[in-house]
Structure 1
């Protein structure tokens, strides 16, 4: 299977933390993806295509994923503008 945009996103912007009780919910994970696309000058897929691809890559509930990298910073600053 070719390494897709979605695989690269998961590798660069998330990491598994199975010890944690928290996970990225659907809104945050898609938001992180759009931030990653913006930073990497990629055209984001539609939300439905994103979730179609994710169903083969992560568990839809309790995925154990945490944010990392520049996309995480962009997502946080975009989502909470009062922090700046």
Structure 2
């Protein structure tokens, strides 16, 4: 994953809440990432590449204070929701 690609993902789809006790799960991070890639027209990298990139930025994918933001968050949430009547 290029630094620019990952930096764009962090800037556009992730926010941090240092006071939060529970951040995003790995499943949610990867889902948000794939939604962001789809909306951005960027090819998605593998989960392993995403985890390596997060760790290189000092973010622990399994224990974090991350939150979703922006259009990718809405896309991910809507695509994850069960069919509504």
TM class by smaller structure: 0.7 to 0.9
* RMSD after superposition: 1.7
Structure 1 counterpart SS, 2:43: coil
Structure 2 counterpart SS, 1:28: helix
Question: Aligned pair in 2 of structure 1 residues 70, 19: CA closer, same or farther (>3 Å)?
Answer: same
The alignment covers a number of residue pairs equal to 83
**In structure 2, what is the Cα distance between the partners aligned to 1:26 and 1:72?**
15
TM-score where L is the length of structure 2:
0.87
Pairing 1:82–2:83 present? yes
Look up the match of 2:5.
5
**What are structure 2's unaligned runs of at least 5 residues?**
none
**In structure 1, what is the Cα distance between the partners aligned to 2:60 and 2:6?**
14
Post-superposition, which runs of at least 4 consecutive aligned residues in structure 1 deviate over 6 A?
none
The structural deviation recorded for 1:80 is 0.7
Look up the match of 1:59.
60
**What are structure 1's unaligned runs of at least 5 residues?**
none
TM-score where L is the length of structure 1:
0.87
